[in-house]
């Protein structure tokens, strides 16, 4: 499913316990991991020593974890618990009861939590994530763009930080647009409704 040089292969099992022991809410996390997670493997290590790219200015390397779930879909709490425990940049590839899901999270220095991007494939043979890049930063931008199905706004020369800042602005606009549309539906005054409609068109134009 993942086509990478064997020099990048790790294929090491990871104990589920390391991701919930000693953390806040450990009991609930343990129940979640016990119920949903069959096994976790550190599948690949993408670094200048294992693949043909350079370390990024913001990300030195990217790990790929391969997780098999008994559940039909990925619970974001599992992804977050793993990322908090390992403290490295991880592309998560989950095999679920319904197919394959890839998840990738990143946060800017001034953000408290990661923003996650994910995408699903019905069959493992359909998995088409392109993992080629000339640096770890460029790989992260490429993964984010693919998982957001090209909604991630990044130009070829954008740094990872710039690309994430652009996407944060896009997300904020989408939330504002959704709020305005709800307001438009409930507004009774025609002049106010007209003004909200104009704002909606302006936002939609900026997002297109």
Convert the pLDDT of each residue in 36-94 to its tens digit: 999 999 999 999 999 989 887 888 999 999 999 999 889 999 999 999 999 899 999 99
Pairing type for strands 99-106 and 115-121 reads antiparallel
- Tell me the helix, strand and coil percentages in the chain, rounded to 5: 45, 25, 35
Overall average pLDDT of the 111-126 stretch: 87
Q: Which residue has the tokens 């090209």?
A: 150
DSSP category for residue 146: H
Spatial neighbors of 170 by CB under 8 A, at least 6 apart, are: 151, 153, 207
pLDDT in tens, 146-196: 898 766 665 656 677 777 777 778 788 888 899 999 999 999 899 999 899
pLDDT value of residue 40: 97
């Amino acid at each position: 499913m993942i086509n990478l040089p064997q020099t990048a292969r790790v294929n090491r099992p990871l104990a589920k316990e390391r991701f919930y022991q000693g953390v806040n809410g450990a009991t609930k996390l343990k129940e979640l991991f016990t119920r949903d997670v069959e096994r976790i493997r550190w599948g690949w290590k993408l670094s200048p020593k294992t693949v043909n790219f350079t370390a990024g200015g913001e990300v030195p390397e990217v790990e790929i974890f391969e997780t098999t779930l008994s559940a039909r879909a990925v619970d974001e709490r599992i992804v977050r618990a793993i990322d908090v425990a390992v403290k490295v940049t991880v592309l998560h590839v989950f095999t679920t009861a319904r197919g394959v899901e890839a998840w990738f999270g990143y946060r800017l220095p001034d953000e408290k939590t990661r923003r996650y991007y994910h995408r699903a494939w019905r069959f493992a043979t359909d998995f088409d994530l392109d993992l080629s890049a000339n640096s770890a930063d460029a790989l992260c931008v490429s993964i984010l763009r693919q998982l957001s199905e090209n909604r991630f706004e990044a130009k070829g020369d954008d740094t990872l930080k710039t690309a994430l800042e652009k996407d944060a602005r896009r997300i904020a606009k989408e939330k504002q647009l959704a709020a305005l549309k709800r307001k438009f539906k409930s507004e009774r005054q025609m002049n106010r409704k007209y003004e909200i409609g104009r704002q909606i068109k302006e936002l939609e134009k900026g997002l297109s």
